[in-house]
Amino acid sequence: MFFSALVLLIIGFPVAFVFGATAVVFSVIFPEIGIEVFNFLPFRIYGIMQNFTLMAVPLFIFMGLILEKSDLARRLLESMGKLFGRINGGLAISVVLVGAILAASTGIVGASVVMMSVIALPIMVKHSYDRSLAAGAIAASGTLGQLIPPSVVLIILGDVMSISVGDLFKAAILPGVLLISLYLIYIVFVSWKNPHIAPSMIDETEDRKAVYKEAIYAIIPPLLLILSVLGSIFFGIASPTESAAVGVFGALILSSMNRKISVTMVRDSALQTVKLTGMIFMILIGATAFSLVFNELGGSEIILDFFSQEHFSKWVFIILSMIVIFILGFFIDFVEIAFIVVPILLPVVEELAINPLWYAVLVAMNLQASFLTPPFGFALFYLKGAANKLVTTMQIYKGVIPFIFLQLLALAIIMLFPQIVTILL
């Protein structure tokens, strides 16, 4: 049943309909299940629709889209580029830092990658940056929204695994900082070793005080938004859903301060939010139908029995499940993995007494790699589409490989040192 769905996805059928259709076909093939199994489906969907936490998904998407259209990213990139431009690799460093700020204020991977491809890539090419390094830095930093709160992935994982989204946000902060640090160390190292691939952007005529002032004015608004959204969650003032509403309000204020707000902009953002949210929830309904039939066929029991054998330890399960999720990330999106694969693995997590918060962060870190892995990584498509002829597909693939290894290194560090996840709880 699982591999039938995977084959249909690789062929190119729409995700939501693949899972729903696979469930219907297998319920008909096996008479002991029967089509009557779907009598339970409306109750499950109604339960999902009553979930208050999932309301944060459209709100955070709406917040991100408003910020995307308010020129916040452009100002950030331009000012940070001037701030770090005087050192080798400075532009790439500024791309990573801006990617982290955008991740914590928007959380939308596609928007971040496209914005930085359009704004930063031409500047990096103009200043003789190695195109693979430039593409890799943009794609990798653009996907930080998968891991850094407030992340839609973390909200979905929190719901699927029945754990507090607020605690999951706290747990993901230090892993996010670890990953950003690894990116920066790599860029600084390769720029120091090969200065010609990431030369400095020297402009002696610039007033450094003015540059610092501009950078401060560009950084403060998104930082205030991040503090208002995440601070309200961490200090127990608001739930994730309520803080998402605060974030939308803050994004509207920032847009009005930038004089970019208009009825057309808000309407377009709302329409895009409805489309993205509709897609996510349609996948969720298809995944619910799939898991219903999968469990009725005894799929969960088979997996639980398999990993409950004596020669399977907790670590064997964790390593195997991470490998499976990483490989699936080559072919399918994080939404399908979160809604289909994670619920299948969840009984084993409970049986082996694995800390669900720690496991959720491992999954989120792994899912982030799925956005970068060739040939189907979504960030690579976004980057190629936005960059057009500035970089070739092979240059993008070559550029992201070191960053994929850095993500796997971060994953290994978090596996070996679970305290990184739990220390802020």
As a whole number, the mean pLDDT across the chain is 83
By CB atoms closer than 10 A (0-12, 13-18, 19+), residue 347 is: middle
State the pLDDT confidence band at 179, using cuts at 50, 70 and 90: very high
Residue 144 is given by DSSP the state G
The reported pTM is 0.82
What whole-number distance in Å separates Cα of residue 390 and Cα of residue 91? 17
pLDDT tens per residue across span 281-334: 888 888 888 888 888 888 878 877 777 776 678 888 899 899 888 888 777 777
- Give the pair of three-digit tokens for residue 73: 């990213």
**pLDDT over 80 at 262, yes or no:** yes
Percent residues over pLDDT 70 in the chain? 94
* Residue 35: per-residue pLDDT: 83
- In the predicted model, what is the mean pLDDT of residues 32-56? 80
Of 128, 133, 135, 159, the residue nearest 54 (C-alpha):
159
Beta-carbon contacts of residue 100 (< 8 Å; ≥ 6 apart): 141, 144, 148, 176, 180
By CB atoms closer than 10 A (0-12, 13-18, 19+), residue 62 is: buried
Number of Cβ atoms within 10 Å of the Cβ of 121: 24
- In the predicted model, what is the mean pLDDT of residues 203-224? 76
By CB atoms closer than 10 A (0-12, 13-18, 19+), residue 298 is: exposed
